[in-house]
Homo-oligomer: A and B are copies of this chain.
Amino acid sequence: MNAIVLLSGGLDSATALAMAAAEGRACHALSFDYGQRHAIELIAARRVAKALGAYSYRVVDLNLRGIGGSALTGNMPVPKGRTESEIAEGVPATYVPARNTLFLAYALALAEVTDTDEIVIGVNVLDSSGYPDCRPEFLAAMQKVAELGTAVGSLGRAPVIRAPLLSMTKAEIIRTGMALGVDYSLTHSCYDPAPSGAACRACDACLLRRRGFKAAGVPDPTWYI
């Protein structure tokens, strides 16, 4: 059983990789250089892939800056210091249009030619920003695309899209990862890091991360400014 694991370099996808590896999958990690302002996450992704024993690691160039429409790829500011209810409400400025659709489409193409059984994505709906492309309904629609839009799907062998973190809280994700030996100091979540790489402490990703470690009762190893 082999799997392509979408790896951003953040806390969630690192845990998803650890879980898939612990379940005996031969994991191939896949990251995207999409023009994200926090491209430093790609350095984190590479070290996470190595530390967790991924069979391969690949970065694909898929520049979304030409599309814009997001604080992560354009000139809009990254929201800071939002409250829990503000984070939970609506689609935030850090949503990148159709990002997960594109990432999954690419993973699908790669899975098809490499005869890969599963595509693992670390999305979750609790304790996360209100991104439409992290919801189970969206993933079910992409599964249909995998079945109907590929040659392997025509043969009844479409890759299965799995989201093992889907209904876990951030604290549960962290506890699960700790039990599997994930070194979270290798991961990077911040949307707006300082040039040094230190996390800003105030963007949604930092807030959710900090809250997660606190709720898990685990020391937060993140290097904050």
A interface residues, Cβ below 8 angstroms from B: 60-64, 66-69, 91, 95-102, 105-106, 108-110, 112-113, 132-133, 135, 137-138, 141-142, 144-145, 147-151, 153-154
Contact = CB atoms under 8 A, between A and B. Distances in A.
What is the oligomeric copy number?
Answer: 2
A149 B62 CA distance: 18
Given A63-B61, A144-B141, A145-B145, A151 B113 contact: no
B137 A148 contact: yes
Contacts of A69: 109, 112-113
Given A97-B112, A141-B145, A142-B145, A62 B62 contact: yes
5 nearest A-B pairs in the assembled complex, by CB-CB distance: A69-B113, A98-B109, A141-B144, A97-B109, A97-B112
Contacts of A112: 69, 97-98
A62 B34 CA distance: 11
Main secondary structure, interface of A, reads helix
A148 B153 contact: no
Nearest to A98: B109
B144 A98 contact: no
B91 A154 contact: yes
A43 to B, nearest CB: 21
A123 to B, nearest CB: 11
B154 A148 contact: no
B150 A98 contact: yes
8 contacts: A67-B109, A97-B108, A102-B106, A105-B105, A138-B145, A138-B148, A141-B141, A141-B144
A150 B91 CA distance: 9
Contact of A132 (B61, B102, B133, B148): B148
